[in-house]
Every structure is written in structure tokens, then in C-alpha cells.
Amino acid sequence: MFYLLVLSVFLSIFGFSNCYFITVDAHSEECFFDRVKQGTKMGLLFETSEGGFLDIDVKILDPDGEVLYQGERESSGKYTFSAHKDGQYTYCFSNLMSSMTPKVVMFNMEVGEPPSAKAEEGDHNQLENMIRDLTAALTGIKHEQEYMTVRDRVHHGINEATNSRVVLWSFFEALVLITMTVGQVYYLKRFFEVRRVI
């Protein structure tokens, strides 16, 4: 009985948290929706992992279409809030500013449990609350790991690009140095040549 309770709470909480990778093409916008009840805690965690300058426009709208959050050219961010009314909340990622580069975005939409009526006191509810807290902490750790994986991939790409530029610059410097050395030897050789006038 206890294990079934733990498993059901664990699965129900993890069911409300999703991680997605999407590609937002140039001159386009991708939107996602969540229908929630008033007072539900919600969150959006996003990271641009590929494309252009790793920036994306983000917008969160309430059920009436009013903007709750708007960010322009952001590479990553986290925004949490409580739903102030019942209805459908919209998350939009826009790449309208890009002329030809698609962007790859990783994001999590976290939707908590809707507030319930006054719960009965007792050990059963206390255990359930502890399991919910533990599950929320595990979900947070999972999201941080996904975030760190994306950050690691982005920084690895930057390091590889920087390394290749350093190698190319070193080859260019070596070529310039060899050219200058040959030129100086040729010039000095001509300088010390004895010219005969007949």
C-alpha cells in the first residue's frame, strides 16, 4: 500500500514536467499551451543551444492574451509565476529577427499541482506532502542536469571554434614568419653581392 502511494504521487508529479528540444526556423514563431487552474505554480526554463548568436525572443501570455513576461534576444532564462486565473497560458519562442538561421531551443514547462481544498490533518497527508516535496526537488535536479548538459554542449562548441581559429592563426603566423625569413635572407644576400663593372 505504501509503495503504491509513493509510486502514484511520484508519477503524478513527474507527469507535469516536460523537457523539449525544438527548432525555430528563421522568420517563425513556435507556441505551446498549458491549461491550468487559478493559483497553480508554473515555470518556464529555456536555453538556446544552437543557431546564430544563441538568442531567441520569449513571450508568456495569460488566458486574456496579456503579456506576463517578454524577453528579446535572450540565450537562457527562468521565469516562475502563479496563475492568477483559470485558463490557457501560452509560451512563445520567436525567431522573427533572424534572416536565415534556425535556432534550437531546449525548454521545460513546469506545472505544479493546483491548490486543493483544505486537506485533512494526519500522518498520511504529511507523508504525501513530504513525497511531493522530494519529488519536486528531484524534478529540479533533473532540470538542472538537462540545463548543464545544454550549457556544456554550447561551451564545447565555442571552445572548438576558438581552438580552430587559434590553429589557423598559428599557421598564418608561421607562414608570415617563413616568408619574412626567406625575404631577409634574399635581401641580405643581394646586399653583400659584389658587382663587377666591365
Say which residues have a Cβ less than 8 Å from residue 146's Cβ, sequence separation at least 6: 19, 106, 108
Q: Give pTM, 2 decimals.
A: 0.59
* Nearest Cα to Cα of residue 141 among 11, 9, 19, 54: 19
CB 135 within 8 A of CB 9: yes
Domains in the chain: ranges and CATH: 2-153 (2.60.120.680)
Print pLDDT tens along the chain (198 aa): 444 343 344 334 444 445 778 888 888 899 998 888 888 888 888 888 888 888 889 999 999 989 998 989 888 888 888 888 899 999 999 998 887 889 888 888 888 777 664 445 556 788 888 887 888 788 778 877 877 887 788 788 889 989 999 999 999 999 999 999 999 998 888 877 776 666
Position 116 scores a pLDDT of 66
C-alpha grid cell for residue 120?
485533512
Position 122 scores a pLDDT of 57
CB 62 within 8 A of CB 85: yes
